[in-house]
Chain A
Amino acid sequence: MSAVVVADNCSKWYGHVLGISDVSWKLGGGIVGLLGPNGAGKSTLIKLMAGLLVPSRGSLSVFGANPFTDIAVRRRIGYAPEHEKTWDELTALELVTVMARLAGVPGERAKLAAEAALEAMGMADARNRRVQGFSKGMRQRTKLATAIAHDPDFLLLDEPLTGVNPIARADIVARIGALAAAGKTIVVSSHVLYEIEALTSEIVVIYRGQVLAEGNVYEIRKLIDRHPHRIRIECDQPRVIAAALATADHVARIVFERQGVLIETRDPDRCYDQLAAAVLESGVEVSALSSPDNNLGAVFEYLTGDGGRR
């Protein structure tokens, strides 16, 4: 499959302020979470993909074309910006219809497409209300509707969950998930890591304008050897498990907890093998097995917490 986005040594400065620096990256498809602290360059990268910015150096192409100069390629892009302002005097239906029309949907079908998009985003009841009276959550849904109304192949969603209450968040995440399931390529940036985690395990971590890590979150976690992996075993005889693993060279630390034991290891695969063997041999009853730092939050913290050094 050819790449949807190809960034080749792409840099963007705003005067003396760095947006992104020397980014080389390929996006094949699927849904990708774009993560990074404030000011890391997430929005800059998204805007470059949406054709709103020109790279200061290097190049970035979407579907093989320059999105800033090539009008045709922008037909395949749906973009929802991070800011709230729209043409607030218009109703949701008018706004989405106009956006669909500007994206190439013929006049007579644009309204139908807008109604369908608003419906898909749970805004059917509010479609005839003016945007200026909307809450943040409703604005986010309307923005998403403007991005999907023209049925784009590639969706760029910049902080679509910001300012949205937890219930609406879960709903929006489900709707984005449905779009991904429908075969769209989606790049979604967010600070809300567990929501991204619910959407995808494919991430790109941007830090100080550079791509710090990319790929599957679990694979990335394996590459971080500075922090041993933690495995929590809840069982009735934690000391038996601890004794079985205590002499293993990959085990860095063993901590006894109220309902079990926490093992820190530098080789999780070997640790899981030995753990399984120990459980079988000893007959200890294991009630739960989890890895508290094998999640996006921990990976993100490990990657960015020490100046990006692994």
Chain B
Amino acid sequence: MTEKRIPSTRSTTLTIAFVTWLRILRRRALWVSMVIAAMPVLYAGAMMSLIGSGERSSPVSGDLFAIELLVLALLAPMFVATAIGEEVEDRTTTYLWSRPIARWSVLAGKLLTLVPLMIVLVSASWSLAGWIAWDRLPPMQTYSALAACALAMSLVATGIASLSPKHGMALTIVYLLFFDFPLGVLPQTLREMSLGHQVRTLSGMFPDESGLLSAAISLVAIALVWTVVAALRVRRIEA
């Protein structure tokens, strides 16, 4: 006789993380993401062959970081919104929601696999691009900023995908590229709502943008809003 008990949230989260990892490994997502993550390296290589290895303050630095942000703005929706959207579209949520599990733990499990994967990909890309551009690794602060960005963008993608599972990916890309990033170049008050702007500030690569603590708080606040949206929405989704 099988022992009857409700699975713990930890066990559920780890199980979902394991399944997510298996599915990522056995599909083309990893290859597609590697192609996208290789683009900053391509840029660094091409630029260095054109203008030679320069100072960190060369225009290449800002461009490279901007490209990494663009890469994350594509990877986060591709991984996270796809992972959520496909469950709903393929109706595999019927298996999940009929199990004795807290629904948010499904989202947590997916993020547990996907966010570190994105951080590894983008850090490798950033390290390689930085090495090519400046003959040394970029400062640690920039890695932290990119990691925070990966997490925050993933939470945005989670929120949007829980609202519109079928088209969550396209909508997240549109949100990040056509709302969030342009917001970052607007005057002070408005740009505080931009995730991209806060990450640029956290990276420390743009001297005109200061206030690490306030940037970190704003980033957490933006991510929290989308987390709440996702958590509330996922409780109500019917299969």
Q: Which residues of A contact B (CB under 8 A)?
A: 47, 50-54, 71-77, 79, 81, 83, 85-87, 89-90, 94, 98-107, 109, 113, 130, 146, 149-151
Contacts and interface: CB of A to CB of B under 8 A. Distances in A.
A53 B238 contact: yes
B95 A72 contact: no
B7 interface: yes
Interface string B1-12: 111111100011
B2 A102 contact: no
Given A74-B100, A83-B94, A109-B2, A102 B7 contact: yes
Contacts of A52: 94, 97-98, 238-239
Given A81-B91, A89-B27, A90-B19, A105 B3 contact: yes
B2 A113 contact: yes
Nearest to B12: A102
Interface string B158-179: 0000000000000000000000
Among B15, B26, B98, B101, find the residue whose CB has the most chain A CB atoms closer than 10 A: B98
Which bucket holds chain B's interface residue count?
Answer: 20 to 34
A74 B5 CA distance: 11
Interface in B79-98: 90-92, 94-98
A110 B109 CA distance: 19
B94 A101 contact: no
B136 interface: no
Nearest to B105: A102
A77 B7 CA distance: 14
Contact of A102 (B1, B5, B27, B101): B101
Nearest to A54: B238
B91 A151 contact: no
Contacts of A77: 98
Contacts of A47: 94, 238-239
A79 B22 CA distance: 24
Contacts of A151: 1-2, 4
Contacts of A75: 4-6, 100
24 contacts: A50-B94, A52-B94, A52-B98, A53-B238, A71-B101, A75-B100, A76-B4, A77-B98, A81-B95, A83-B91, A85-B91, A90-B19, A94-B22, A98-B18, A99-B99, A101-B11, A102-B99, A103-B100, A104-B5, A106-B5, A149-B2, A151-B1, A151-B2, A151-B4
A89 B97 CA distance: 20
Contacts of B22: 89-90, 94
A54 B97 CA distance: 12
